[in-house]
Structure 1
Amino acid sequence: MKVALVSLDQVWRDKLANQIQCRSVVEEVKAASSDIDLIVFPELTLTGFCVDDSALAEGDGEQSDTVRFFSELSQHYQCHIMFGQLARLSSGQVVNRQNITDQSGRLISTYDKVHTFSYAGETNYIAQGEQPCVSMIDGIPVGGSICYDLRFAELFHHYRERAAMVINTANWPSTRTAQWLCLLQARAIENQYFVVGVNRVGTDGKGLDYDRSSVIFNPLGERLDPLQQGVLWDLYSINLEDVMAIRTQFPFVKDRRNSLYAQWSKHKNSQ
């Protein structure tokens, strides 16, 4: 599978400016690799991390202008695209959402951020998602996660028997880049699958800076080198057969004691 990670310099609250950037990047990536399978953009792609502005939220699913925009790009350039947005549910609640559109422009999956970032006030504005999400991309099962989710190993362990790759799209500030890289690597090692992290760059509207730290770790926790690079993107080739090969060579999961862990949780809850 060929995957492009886009470290977008998101323009704060400006959907049109970010659309122009995204279209240009997709065109560049497609020119560099005509057989690209998946292009991944950062969290809340067209707005930046503006979770306190409910006016930026759009309708659910294909009612959304953001979804329609990326659907058109996917169809025109014949590739899957993962992107983020604020989506308004029928209940009126707003969620931090990650979407995937396929080569035909069809919206094939949505994942709503399960762990909202209370430290930054996200919990005050954004409803928490309740479900994990595994999408099939050209027959490959891919798990979804967004930024702060990375700190919670339970979600990633859930994906272990269900996905060959898990993608985390983020707006993760440079003051915590070391933690970002460490957590991505740890999730890859402990679950023995590919972990993809896609972060923005530049400075946001609140003055937070972001490093170019988009990366892929293989199931051994080794950082992959990109095949090609552009100003805002990195192109990788991933052999998903490595997942089963590494799990067969190092069958660590058989030593898990799930029934014992369940007893610990039950004992704690009864105290």
Structure 2
Amino acid sequence: MKTFSATAVQMVSTPDVADNLKTATALIERAVDAGSALVVLPEYFAIMGLRDTDKLAVAEAFGSGLIQDFLAAQAERHGIWLVGGTVPLAAPGARRIRNASLVFDPSGSCAGRYDKIHLFGFDNGNEHYAEADTIEAGETPLVLDTSFGRLGVAVCYDLRFPELFRQAGHVDVWALPAAFTATTGRAHWEVLLRSRAIENQCFVVASAQGGVHRSGRETWGHSMIVDPWGQVLASHDVGAGLASAELKASQLERVRKVLPALSHRRL
């Protein structure tokens, strides 16, 4: 890995795709102005509908569509690595979508696709979420070699499944777009992010939805960047904004040298 700057973008996305893309444009520009070579957008950055089914109406075929064209253009325009939060991609043969995180390189080419593997389900009597009703689960993890190091991508609920991160081996940076609910985020968001960074001795760039959406759903926010020792380098609590930090290769190397836990594994 080499030292570089990264930004986790936080949004409070609406049901209006055009409005969300306008907001994302401004936030990406701010991240680039701050010197970021990696920018990560949150889950559902392009649409947070009034109903879970709203995203089906804007689903795109992989490789073509308004949202994907936007991401490619932004990456190329700014010469950055851009993790496109998640994009609703059409799933074959069913009225469901794939909740896909697309990674674009500085030329604007799609360098990788990760379809969210673990689908969120929650019901505490007051709040009910069942992603499997509208989303088809992915099957394959994603780790890419980039100009700054090895990049892994996971999405939101994946954070609760440490085996996904562990099986990927030595990853320098994990990008984690998310839309944690306020209820679960308040209890678990930071401790889970810090745990994944500590146990895998890597940086985590976690971009969240953060606020009250038009549907009434409240997301936790608190986008943050965590270093391999588990320290929070930057955070943004609520509302649209950025969490930016320099990710130092020397810090990664030092942690792995003084506590070579990854090489001590026996299981």
The alignment's TM-score, normalised by the length of structure 1, stands at 0.85
C-alpha displacement of 1:174? 1.9
Larger relative contact order (Cα-Cα within 8 Å, sequence gap ≥ 6) = 2
Q: Distance in 2 between matches of 1:110 and 1:4?
A: 20
Q: Determine the structure 2 residue equivalent to 1:112.
A: 115
Q: CA contact under 8 A between 1:52 and 1:122: conserved in structure 2?
A: no
SS of residue paired to 2:232: coil
Following superposition of structure 1 onto structure 2, how do residues 1-271 of structure 1 map, counting pairs within 5 Å?
A: 1-11=4-14, 13-30=15-32, 32-33=33-34, 35-48=35-48, 51-53=52-54, 54-60=56-62, 62-83=63-84, 84-92=86-94, 94-119=97-122, 120-159=129-168, 161-177=169-185, 178-225=187-234, 232-258=241-267
In the TM superposition, what whole-angstrom CA distance separates every residue of 1:41-68 from its partner, at most 9, and x where no partner exists?
10021002764332121111x2122110
SS of residue paired to 1:43: coil
Q: Distance in 2 between matches of 1:235 and 1:147?
A: 19
Indicate the RMSD between aligned Cα atoms, in angstroms: 2.0
Over 3 Å off, 4+ runs:
89-93
- For the structure 1 residues 136 and 48, does the alpha-carbon distance in structure 2 shift closer, same or farther, using more than 3 Å as the test? farther
Q: CA contact under 8 A between 1:48 and 1:171: conserved in structure 2?
A: no
Q: CA contact under 8 A between 1:164 and 1:240: conserved in structure 2?
A: no
In the TM superposition, what whole-angstrom CA distance separates every residue of 1:130-169 from its partner, at most 9, and x where no partner exists?
010012331411100000000111101112x241111111
Select between 179-188 and 207-216 the one with higher mean Cα deviation. Answer: 207-216
- Equivalent AA in structure 2 for residue 97 of structure 1: A
- Equivalent AA in structure 1 for residue 83 of structure 2: M
- For the structure 1 residues 234 and 128, does the alpha-carbon distance in structure 2 shift closer, same or farther, using more than 3 Å as the test? same
C-alpha displacement of 1:111? 0.4
Q: CA contact under 8 A between 2:226 and 2:234: conserved in structure 1?
A: no
C-alpha displacement of 1:255? 3.8
Give the helix-richer structure, 1 or 2: 1
C-alpha displacement of 1:127? 0.9
Q: CA contact under 8 A between 1:134 and 1:162: conserved in structure 2?
A: no
Q: Distance in 2 between matches of 1:231 and 1:149?
A: 23
- For the structure 1 residues 214 and 246, does the alpha-carbon distance in structure 2 shift closer, same or farther, using more than 3 Å as the test? same
Structure 1 unaligned runs (5+)? 259-271
- Equivalent AA in structure 2 for residue 169 of structure 1: P
In the TM superposition, what whole-angstrom CA distance separates every residue of 1:48-91 from its partner, at most 9, and x where no partner exists?
2764332121111x212211011111111221211111101445
- Equivalent AA in structure 2 for residue 69 of structure 1: F
Larger radius of gyration: 1
C-alpha displacement of 1:100? 1.2
C-alpha displacement of 1:198? 1.0
C-alpha displacement of 1:203? 1.1
In the TM superposition, what whole-angstrom CA distance separates every residue of 1:110-137 from its partner, at most 9, and x where no partner exists?
1000101133110122111101001233
